[in-house]
Amino acid sequence: MNLAGMAELGSGWKEQVQPALLASLLLLLCFEVALRVRSPRRTRSPPGPFAWPLLGNVMQLGELPHLTFCRMAQKYGDVFQIRLGRRAVLVLNGEAAIRRALLGQCAQFAGRPGFSSYRAISGGKSMAFGGYSELWRLHRKIAHSTLRAFSSADADARAILQRHIADEARELVEAFASLSARGRYFDPSLECTVAVANVICALCFGQRYGHEDQEFKSLLGRTLKFGQTVGAGSLVDLLPWLQTFPNPARSLYRSFQELNREAFDFVKAKISHHRRTYDPAVTRDMSDAFIRDIGRLGDGYVEGTVTDLFGAGQDTNSAALTWVLFLLVRYPHLQARLHEELEGAVGRERLPAWEDRRRLPFLEAFLYETLRFSSFVPFTIPHCTTADVTVDGFHVPKDTVVFVNQWSVNHDRAKWKDPHAFDPGRFLDDKGELDRDLAKGVLIFSLGKRRCIGDEFSKVQLFLFTAILLHQCTFLADPAEGLSMGCVNGLTLRPRPFSLSVTLRHRRRQPSASDSGPGIFASTSATC
């Protein structure tokens, strides 16, 4: 979940509040104050800002709530409470508080809010949005082991994954070159999404879609819009009276419902075809493995799992890749240094491979700094307490919604020098090697029982896409455009729209039949 819908609603209310509503708020305020005076607290609740009746703190969140929460933490501490409507929401900031909760009391913080919008995602059988239970733990275990089996379990799986990514990187280079030839400067975000989504499609469905496939690109564009509306769906869950009259949150909630159905219908059609052609003796792809192993959990779990992987994987990984391209054109001197490192470590006779990462410390440092600096997943999907719990001496009741502010960890001045500056060098030690202990301090995939199951898969994908694109291309910003460091808030944070052009670097030799190592394109296209 994100809070972009809340910010949009807040700005609308400031201009459209009616006298009758103000009178109602005043009466509710008096009523709530009276209740608090007559019912003194027996336990110590987390501190927090004053919450208005009916709305709570919605109006205070702003366009970028993760920044609002960082400011609130300076006043109330790393553990504080806000209200959305009548519902209390615990906010966790800072590495120490987040670790004490998600690792020290992992089961108690592993729940998900019982929002009706969450129950609709992935046909109601979502692993990412599903509640914490024995069934959920089994569901997650099978999904995690299956993803690992098709991406990193052994040398063969790693080689196949690398081949998929290398193929998509080649196609992406060709798409970029074609767009540059036609119009010189272009927005790369949708092409990045197609490339990343195709890796998931290859693993799940055994097929890919061309960059010229407008139907597929339209679907992905709508899926990105889903990320901007899911937060608004949760706002309607918290403030159900918003459904009774026209307002931005109701409109976004209806868009969320439609987009959710479209994504799920796309996956259902693919799984239906897999079921009709399924042979238990042959596992063609992850969908077959899910039919074999997750199908026994009940109807809809296969479709729900694949929808989770398809939606979350392409949204987060394409956001990361878009940030990489933005930062490459924003800091051309860093791009030049990366080109130099790749020339020395890899050369022109082959493409970079995952096994090269130890010889590409500045590239790894650049990627970790991209994850830290962008914090493109500023919040985890909201957690929910599964039992009464105590955090830093504060009593938190069961079923309390919990926001985990990952941004606060990645921009903590006590942990990072000049955290708002983009500096890959911070991850290099005195010998110029990657400081892996410091790199582990970047929080982007959450912690504990709700940690993202695709974290290693995402790291491999981001490294290979970036390495191959840099190996093949030079990226140039549009000089007529100012590169704003602002962002667009959705399920992920993305750079504001920007344009670039691509110049192909030295052509490498054509691959021969003897080129069987990782990172060599299967195609003999001269583009790369």
List, for residues 182-191, the tens digit of each pLDDT value: 878 999 999 9
Q: What percent of the chain has pLDDT over 90?
A: 64
> Sorting pLDDT into bands at 50, 70 and 90, what band is 520?
very low
Instruction: State the chain's mean pLDDT as an integer.
Output: 86
Per-residue confidence (pLDDT) for residue 174, from 0 to 100: 95
Residue 418 lies in a domain: yes
Q: What is the pLDDT of residues 172-221, one digit of tens each?
A: 999 999 999 887 899 999 999 999 999 999 999 988 999 988 888 888 87
**Nearest CA-CA partner of 203 in 311, 287, 116:** 287
Q: Checking DSSP bridges between strand 493-495 and strand 87-92, what pairing results, if any?
A: unpaired
pLDDT for position 92: 98
* pLDDT confidence band for 519 (50 / 70 / 90): very low
Higher per-residue pLDDT: 525 or 245: 245
Q: Give the DSSP per-residue string, 289-322.
A: HHHHHTGGG-TTHHHHHHHHHHHHHHHHHHHHHH
Counted domains in the chain: 1
Is residue 81, in this structure, part of any structural domain at all?
A: yes
Question: Within a domain: residue 527?
Answer: no
Domain assignment present for residue 514? The answer is no
SS3 94: coil
452 marked as part of a ligand binding site: yes
What's the pLDDT band for 14 if we cut at 50, 70, 90? very low
Give 227's pLDDT tier (boundaries 50, 70, 90). low
Domain annotation covers residue 524: no
Q: Which tokens go with 385?
A: 């307490």
User: Does residue 82 lie in a domain region?
Assistant: yes
By three-state DSSP, how is residue 80 classified? strand
pLDDT value of residue 224: 63
Of the pLDDT bands very low, low, confident and very high (cuts 50, 70, 90), residue 464 is: very high
Q: Please state the φ and ψ torsions of residue 88, each to the nearest 5 degrees.
A: -75, 140
pLDDT at 93 over 50: yes
What mean pLDDT comes out for the span 358-374? 98
CATH number at residue 153: 1.10.630.10
| pLDDT tens-digit readout, 329-342 | 999 999 999 999 99
The predicted pLDDT at position 110 comes to 97
pLDDT one-digit tens code per residue, 105-163: 999 999 999 888 888 888 889 999 999 999 999 999 999 999 999 988 888 889 999 99
511 falls within a domain: no
Asked whether residue 320 is domain-assigned, the answer is: yes
**How many Cβ atoms from other residues are within 10 Å of residue 520's Cβ?**
18
Residue 50, token pair as written in the block: 């004053």
Q: Which domain holds residue 125?
A: 4-504
Assigned token pair, 44: 């110590």
State residue 230's pLDDT score: 61
Does the structure show a pLDDT above 60 at 462?
yes
